[in-house]
Structure 1
């Protein structure tokens, strides 16, 4: 089998050019399209990851299995002309999280089925996340239990690929793993992972992989998830402070062949992202930050469509979203708090961007289509772009972005992507 492009990522810090890689964690077609166009323009590899909640053998909230997701992404690649040889598919938070309400044996059996599906579908970066307790267990598990369960999943993935030619997967491990999608409330300070904890994580995983008979798989562990002190809640962002993570960064000298993977880097500045990469956090996970930019663009276009074509729709996109979210609150009600006025703001404008769970909803999808149909072929006046799509205004003025709805949507996402790809050049 071939080696992964990521197999030598620990050596990137010492070379010219690319020193890290953004990890695009989204299943929205516009986000993936924008990412492919951006990576193609730069001539670099693109890492796209599906989370266990988005994509699994039961369909996840997107309705896609891992094989479906691969086909979905490859169709977008064909549309954009992106070279599939530069595409890396990853699985994020692969473990029992979607089924943690079940007893551990049942949840892990489900997780094993899931990672087998990911491996067989050709996902070559697998983040093993078994850090959460299942029914009857504490919220956080001992490192040895987490590592043992991770090794079990790795063994399933390796067996699924036995005798199949292709790229051997690389693995990401860790025990101090942020929850998928960001914190649930306002946060003020975070504890940075202690260097000794990072070292212990690798030691216990090495032992667990050896005990599970998958030492070769451990040789392809290229990174560990740690907490460098970055996170976002519903209303605020904790920015990276390099000094607070200096000791953790220095611990990489004791962990040859490894980098750190930073989750929840959404909404960090380009300078902060660059410092993360230079400090060894070479994999920058971003998801809600991209769909937040998408939502901003859609809301701006919604206002423009209503201004230009008042009364042509029964309902604006924003009104449709509010109606659907209040009628079907399961994907946000546990995460948004405060008064009804507070929750109203959070439903639409939270950094956690839980609107992203609803874009596939038939009524919301129809409302998006209706908005784009109204704006089809329309050159949107620069003054309206200045008013409602400020992030894309400079690009339009410079002639780099067409004043069309689809181009403006891609440009809004691209504005965020540029911070990540620039930071990874370091």
Structure 2
């Protein structure tokens, strides 16, 4: 479990945990299959803008999301005790156009809903300002107090419902969701002295709010080891640059370890070094839906080459039209000429297209694509558009189905993370 990660590292043992930050059913199914194969914990996290009381962009409330994960895990044969649900970016930022008091009322209601739905790991993300705050990045003292207030709401809900109390993640060094690598392509690593001062503020706020017992269940603090990504590339992990913050791990209180956001698109060797350097909780999402999108588009190209189909999915055109008609999920992230925007909408590493897969038009196009490719795909088309998978299908090690192709592509992105957490470099 999460509370053991820190102790395992202190004792020289190995270990890490991947957090799957995606609501896409095929991503969840692939992750569940990997967890079942490894006999490991499946940690799935829903973000506040993805799953909330209004449905979020997925159309799901916390209870609906919990039910979906449970059903998909059951279909895979994963035991219920191997599933842990987390809530990501719980805080007032979703309602930042409101005054802080009103935004916090909304954030507390959402926190209570997540706890009631069975979510055990809560990321308290309160570092950003609201309409009446003077700064977008809040002073740590204010951020910590708001986090403690959300913790109090969670604790009261768990107690009222006779649920096990949640685990918490705190910290203000939270990168913007979905990749925020700056123009200079470098990322500032967390300073240990700053982190020490931040933790003192949080502990004081928890004590002041009457949730000092919950402090013992803060399993992680978000830190920045120097990684992130933008539209075209990811900043690779540099172990030497993170030496100081890595060494600070042994000074963390109680069960606390490091949680890393925007860990997508790191190489297998970098991931092994990260986990070995005590960055034990790795949150990923866009790299998994990016792999899904790659496979879907490859299948769409194959569909276009198959003669005699009466109704084609036109998947790529459908997605382009959806993003054109409903630009709110990418308009503040992608910049450039009309031609550059078309490229980014399809191929950016930020993968803002993931917001559109839940829409009815996208689901219908995907269903039509899968129906049109229900028969074995001709070998020449596999070689042309999926050369890395063609050999596995030919040899019989991979079923010749579109569903299997999607799953293997998602797992190919997930596998380096799972393997790094099982066996990081330098440890036996």
> What is the TM-score of this pair, normalised by structure 1?
0.95
Aligned residue number for residue 204 of structure 1:
201
1:167-186 CA-partner distances (Å, limit 9, x unpaired):
33111000111111111775
Aligned residue number for residue 217 of structure 1:
214
Aligned residue number for residue 371 of structure 2:
373
How do residues 172-251 of structure 1 correspond to structure 2 at under 5 angstroms?
Answer: 172-183=169-180, 188-251=185-248
1:243-276 CA-partner distances (Å, limit 9, x unpaired):
1111011111211432110100100011111111
Contact conserved, 1:260 with 1:283, CA < 8 A, in 2? yes
1:273-329 CA-partner distances (Å, limit 9, x unpaired):
111111111000000000000000100011111111465335510011111111111
1:116-170 CA-partner distances (Å, limit 9, x unpaired):
1011111011110001111142110000010000000000000001154443311
- Seen in structure 2, the aligned counterparts of structure 1 residues 375 and 165 have a Cα distance that, compared at 3 Å, is same
How do residues 300-379 of structure 1 correspond to structure 2 at under 5 angstroms?
Answer: 300-309=298-307, 312-313=310-311, 316-376=314-374, 378-379=375-376
How do residues 383-398 of structure 1 correspond to structure 2 at under 5 angstroms?
Answer: 383-398=380-395
Which has the higher mean CA deviation after the structures are superposed, 251-260 or 50-59?
Answer: 251-260
2:160 is the counterpart of 1:157: no
Contact conserved, 2:23 with 2:58, CA < 8 A, in 1? yes
Match of 1:128 among 124, 128, 135: 124
Contact conserved, 1:187 with 1:232, CA < 8 A, in 2? no
> Hey, what's the Cα distance between the residues in 1 that align with 2:245 and 2:405?
40
Match of 1:78 among 74, 77, 85: 74
> Hey, what's the Cα distance between the residues in 2 that align with 1:395 and 1:275?
30
The Cα of 1:77 is off from its aligned counterpart by: 1.4
> Hey, what's the Cα distance between the residues in 2 that align with 1:48 and 1:18?
21
Contact conserved, 1:224 with 1:260, CA < 8 A, in 2? yes
Match of 1:171 among 168, 171, 189: 168
Contact conserved, 2:312 with 2:368, CA < 8 A, in 1? no
The Cα of 1:18 is off from its aligned counterpart by: 5.5
- Seen in structure 2, the aligned counterparts of structure 1 residues 391 and 116 have a Cα distance that, compared at 3 Å, is farther
Give secondary structure in 1 for the equivalent of 2:259. strand
Contact conserved, 1:184 with 1:335, CA < 8 A, in 2? no
Please provide the CA RMSD for this pair: 1.6
Contact conserved, 1:261 with 1:283, CA < 8 A, in 2? yes
Give secondary structure in 1 for the equivalent of 2:123. strand
Contact conserved, 1:89 with 1:124, CA < 8 A, in 2? yes
Contact conserved, 1:309 with 1:374, CA < 8 A, in 2? no
The Cα of 1:208 is off from its aligned counterpart by: 0.4
Runs (5+) with no aligned partner, structure 1? none
> Hey, what's the Cα distance between the residues in 1 that align with 2:391 and 2:10?
35
> What is the TM-score of this pair, normalised by structure 2?
0.95
1:340-381 CA-partner distances (Å, limit 9, x unpaired):
1111100010101000000011111111111001111x1123
The Cα of 1:396 is off from its aligned counterpart by: 3.0
How do residues 395-406 of structure 1 correspond to structure 2 at under 5 angstroms?
Answer: 395-406=392-403
- Seen in structure 2, the aligned counterparts of structure 1 residues 78 and 403 have a Cα distance that, compared at 3 Å, is same
> Hey, what's the Cα distance between the residues in 2 that align with 1:242 and 1:199?
21
Match of 1:112 among 103, 108, 115: 108
Runs (5+) with no aligned partner, structure 2? none
> Hey, what's the Cα distance between the residues in 2 that align with 1:146 and 1:394?
53
Contact conserved, 1:265 with 1:284, CA < 8 A, in 2? yes
> Hey, what's the Cα distance between the residues in 2 that align with 1:324 and 1:54?
18
Contact conserved, 1:101 with 1:135, CA < 8 A, in 2? yes
Aligned residues: 421
2:90 is the counterpart of 1:94: yes
Contact conserved, 1:229 with 1:240, CA < 8 A, in 2? yes
2:35 is the counterpart of 1:39: yes
